[in-house]
Chains A and B, each alone.
Chain A
Amino acid sequence: MSSEHTAHTGSHHTEVENWNGASEPFKASYGKLMMWYFLLSDAFTFSAFLIAYGTLRFSMPTWPVPDFVFSGLPGGIHHKPLIFVTIMTFVLIASSVTMVRAVQEGHRENKKGVVFWMILTIIGGLGFLGCQAWEWTTLIGGEKMSITRNPFGTHIENGTYLEGDGHDIKAGDSFTKGSSYLIHYHDGHFQPLKYKTEGGEVKTQQMGPKAFGALFFFITGFHGFHVFSGVVFLLIIALNVASGLYARRNNKYEMVEKIGLYWHFVDLVWVFVFLVFYLL
């Protein structure tokens, strides 16, 4: 490691000469560079999705409030906003950290270390996918949200409920403009509640914007697909590491570094998915 250190400090004043060719001006193998450019293009794919999300959200009269939608925990616990997704985020961050460790062990040519940390990374990835599966199951199975319908609405005026929903709302409960509601699904139907506005009119709850459900499942699904394929690649590469394939290539486990870049990118995307879907 120390010899590398000196080699690198030496490289700075030869920067201009590097650009003259024949010496990899970017000081990176072509594989790593191509991974970077792939990730750049993939970043544009995700950006397009998130920008489409923002555009549709801006165009809607109301939008579900995330800490109302995402407030469940396994074991039937309710009204704990954002706790579960915070746990999910930790799992993914932790798996990113173990991935860095795997790359570091690779630089030291420590085969056992690489395999160990990669396995932890895979477990982290699977854990994240498990969390996502639970979240989707709750939303789809429990609350009947899907890509074509969204029972999470937002009140557009103050009012008082005229009936209860058998969950948290009792007849006579009042609510304010901007507060959230969930239209429960019973006996094969959604059961929107009737309420009375301050002006004395009787109205019924409306479904929330469809785009919310569609975009949520689409974008977290696309991210989840990236996590899933990342886990598959990690598994294959971990097996190759164990078999000694990369040790024979003698390039400091560059393949581990490349899949590491991909894995961190998945984490990076989650930072923004977390931001726009759960926080804002």
Chain B
Amino acid sequence: MSSGHHHHEQDALIEKYGYDDHFHEHHEGDKFQFNFLTKYIFSMDHKIIARQFLFTGIFWAIIGAAMSIVFRFQLGFPDASMAWLKPILGKWIIINEAGIGTLEPEFYYALVTMHGTIIVFFVLTAGLSGTFSNFLIPLQLGARDMASPFLNMLSYWFFFLSSAVMFYSLFLSTGPFSGGWTAYPPLSALPQASIGSESGMTLWIVSLALFVVSVLLGGMNYITTVLNLRTKGMSLWRMPLTIWAFLVTAILGLLSFPVLFSGFLLLIFDRSMGTSFYLSDIFVNGMALDRIGGSPILYQHIFWFLGHPEVYIIILPAMGIVSEVLAVHARKPIFGYRAMVYSILAIAFLSFIVWAHHMFMSGVNPFLSNFFVVFTLIIAVPSAVKVFNWISTLYGGNIRLNTPMLFCIGFVSMFISGGLTGIFLGNSAIDIQQHDTYFVVAHFHIVMGVAAFFGMFAGVYNWFPKMFGRYMNDTLGKIHFWITLIGAYAVFGPMHFLGMAGVPRRYYLFDKFDAFSGFDDMNKFITIAAIVSFFAQILFVVNFFWSMYKGKRVTSQNPWGSNSLEWTTPIEAGHGNWPGKIPTVQRWSYDYGKDGIEFTQQHVPLRDGEKPSDH
């Protein structure tokens, strides 16, 4: 495509059909455009805030992934010396007279806990939804910014505060919290329960309380913006699927995080004020505590009332990104647009009524479990609809096999592989065998860990040109993809076998269990695969930062030949996104290959005799 030509055509169309919101009369010489501090640090521009979320997310992803390498090393090579980690981990590595360094078991649990907390909340919630909801909602809807740019800024800074508190907790002398990312009482409720339950837990809960505030501020903004601030012509059924996914994600967050917050407040009271909401019949060192009448299962219910929607808060944005990027690079309209929307809504609804499937073995009433089994298995239906539609979109497409597209295909692969094992685990009877084994670890890492990362990578590679005005290196990107894809299957594939053999998760060492000694080689293999995959991610980080400054420059407004509105803004868009009028929307965003024309952007009016495709 000849860039100059397009450039002109787009601006002319917007000038002709655009919608004048008199932005410039109010914002000429906007004070937020000027000094460094307000432009890049305390910015209210959604595009800057999106990048802040992304950078913080990358920071946490590196830490979270590095932690997993340390505990994978322990699991794969329990006899090898870890003395080389002494400079980083300090007192958590014990070196004996022979010079062999071992990892403190307490710290192993802290690493597992922090890995989960960091990846689930800081990377795949804030880093994924925070980045792309912020970046794409106003741009793809034709809005100047979020409904409340100020609260949007606060949303990031609450996340930052939350991050700072959690980061600080890593350096406590008693270590960070070590009772699992779900923070079940009594480990989380009794400071005397373990060393990680002391200050580590206090900071953990403070950090997550701040995180909830961040999610709520963000979510209120996303919902209000999508519902009330769309540009002229952007009806709900014309919105790109990314926006549908972000909207529903925000709704899930708005309804589930407050419940987590309630659960945390009760937990804080149990920790510090001597109440017994979650405690009963507790013995510490042979002494019974006077903390009776509550139930730890109550916490689990409250936690998973958030926890299950949280899974979809993680995966839905990835699904939205994949739907959009897949259509763009297959040069085909997304197959079954409305079915996609309805399946997102169905998944969102179901996500609120299935939470207890995380607790089948916790002592939930078995009769009640039946309902949770049925509801859980129903989720397979909308999920299968989505998978079918992605594959059908690819079928017969004019596929560009570039990095974002590869990650989309990888996402679909991961989602199928991980989704299938979900059907096993969703059955309470089968769960008796599988629960708390590596089968569960394999399942959720593939379906919401790796898959969500693939969606995030697809998004980063695809919108990098819009974010930074340069391309990421495609060759490095492809290498990154292939190592990650193969690596992820090599790590989590074998775990299914471990799990089926009954190898329990969370164990520090298996040397006392003869039944599991046959898996030593498999554990070594998994660890090596994990280390290789980790270094592939370093490749991504290098590519990312190198490309920010040295990548190939973007020369056209619409480098991918995409239909959605973000590609009608200038390459380096300022605060307010469009320099003149806002484009009005004339069609849906999936007119690819229609009437023999490769793509038609959303603001281009219907041609003579053309039938609209969006009804």
Contacts and interface: CB of A to CB of B under 8 A. Distances in A.
Touching chains A and B, CB distance < 8 Å: yes
B267 to A, nearest CB: 11
B81 interface: no
Size band of the interface chain A makes with B? 35 or more
Contact of A34 (B147, B262, B295, B301): B147
B262 A52 contact: yes
A42 interface: yes
A40 B262 contact: no
B298 A48 contact: no
Contacts of A148: 273-276
Interface string A30-73: 11011001101110111111001001100110000000000000
B234 A20 contact: yes
Interface stretch (A94-102, A180-188, A207-215): A207-215
B293 A211 contact: yes
A25 interface: yes
Nearest to A48: B262
B294 interface: yes
A211 B254 contact: no
B227 A21 contact: no
A25 B141 CA distance: 14
Nearest to A53: B277
B236 interface: yes
Contacts, number: 128
B2 to A, nearest CB: 31
Nearest to B279: A210
A21 B261 CA distance: 34
A37 B261 contact: no
Interface residues of B, number: 50
A37 B224 CA distance: 8
A33 B273 contact: no
B255 A19 contact: no
B294 A38 contact: no
Nearest to B147: A30
A41 B275 CA distance: 25
Contact of A20 (B229, B232, B263): B232
Interface of A is mostly: helix
B273 A21 contact: no
B148 interface: yes
Contacts of A19: 235-236
Contact of A214 (B220, B224, B261, B277): B277
B261 A22 contact: no
Contacts of A37: 219-220, 223-224, 254
A179 to B, nearest CB: 21
Candidate in A21, A34, A214 with the most chain B CB atoms within 10 angstroms: A21
Candidate in A38, A60, A214 with the most chain B CB atoms within 10 angstroms: A214
- Nearest 4 CB-CB pairs, A to B? A22-B232, A48-B262, A21-B230, A30-B147
Given A20-B232, A31-B148, 5 more contacts: A21-B230, A48-B259, A52-B266, A210-B293, A214-B269
29 contacts: A20-B234, A21-B234, A22-B19, A22-B231, A26-B228, A30-B147, A30-B228, A33-B223, A33-B224, A33-B227, A37-B219, A37-B220, A38-B216, A40-B254, A41-B220, A41-B255, A41-B257, A44-B256, A45-B258, A45-B261, A48-B258, A52-B262, A52-B277, A56-B277, A56-B294, A148-B275, A211-B293, A215-B277, A218-B269
Interface of B: 19, 141-142, 147-148, 151, 216, 219-221, 223-225, 227-236, 254-259, 261-263, 265-266, 269, 273-277, 292-295, 298, 301-302, 305, 584-585
